[in-house]
């Protein structure tokens, strides 16, 4: 995808997402690897759409309505597919199989969500440090651990007026039986990321 990034194509959130996919592991679960001879290492088919208007970023139609992408949707989709392929390669090395990997858009790419699913029960999640934003200076970076419905989320953001946190990156995880879904998104509220996490889990479960 490097050739595309060096071109004049405005990838907006995709450039940010490349980092998320390259790192692969954002949670303390460390994408649990299938264990034992009977472990299910078959691929998980991720849904192409989700209820509420979420579409796969590999669908040209998902980028329609975004003025900065007008006329370049096909080229952007090609770049997105390259990112997903790279993520699949890294996930295969890390997990041994039994995963799904997708990028979803809403409102033509105004919101972007990076989703991975695994055939493994989730583990405990926690940021490296948990601080009270009300006691930090405005502009400080802080991690929050929050529960939204059945999802556990880590919100990394900047302390704003009154101890409020402006999210820069939110990561949520939810499990059901031997399935775990992790979703991350830049500059999106935890409630929205948790919603996508639950939707993906419902669709694949």
Range of the domain at 166: 2-204
Structural element, H or E, at residue 155: strand 151-159
pLDDT band at 52 (very low <50, low <70, confident <90, very high): very high
Cβ proximity of 26 and 184 under 8 Å: yes
Q: Is 121 helix (H, G, I), strand (E, B) or coil?
A: coil
Number of alpha carbons in the 13 Å side-chain half-sphere of residue 35: 5
- What is the Cα–Cα distance from 20 to 23, expressed in whole angstroms? 5
For the chain, the domain total comes to: 1
Residue 96: how many other CB atoms lie within 10 Å: 15
* pLDDT 10s digits, 107-155: 888 899 999 999 988 777 777 777 888 888 888 988 888 999 999 999 9
Regarding pTM above 0.85, the answer is: no
What pLDDT is attached to residue 166?
A: 86
Q: For 54, which DSSP code?
A: E
H-type alpha helices, the chain: 2-5, 13-23, 73-95, 190-204
């Amino acid at each position: 995808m490097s050739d595309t990034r060096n071109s004049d194509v405005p990838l907006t959130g995709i450039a940010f997402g490349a980092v998320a996919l390259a790192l692969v592991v954002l949670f303390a679960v460390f994408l649990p690897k299938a264990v034992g001879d009977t472990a299910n290492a078959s691929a998980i088919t991720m849904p192409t759409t989700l209820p509420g208007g979420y579409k796969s970023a590999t669908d040209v139609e998902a980028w329609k309505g975004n003025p900065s992408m007008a006329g370049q949707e096909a080229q952007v989709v090609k770049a997105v597919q390259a990112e997903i392929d790279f993520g699949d390669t890294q996930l295969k090395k890390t997990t041994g199989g039994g995963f799904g990997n997708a990028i979803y858009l809403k409102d033509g790419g105004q919101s972007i969500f990076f989703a991975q699913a695994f055939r493994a029960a989730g583990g405990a999640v926690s940021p490296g440090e948990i601080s009270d934003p009300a006691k930090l200076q405005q502009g400080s970076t802080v991690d929050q651990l929050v529960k939204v419905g059945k999802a556990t989320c880590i919100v990394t953001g900047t302390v704003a007026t009154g101890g409020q946190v402006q999210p820069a990156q939110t990561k949520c995880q939810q499990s059901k039986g031997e399935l775990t879904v992790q979703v991350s998104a830049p500059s999106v509220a935890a409630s929205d990321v948790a919603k996508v996490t639950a939707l993906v889990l419902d669709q694949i479960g």
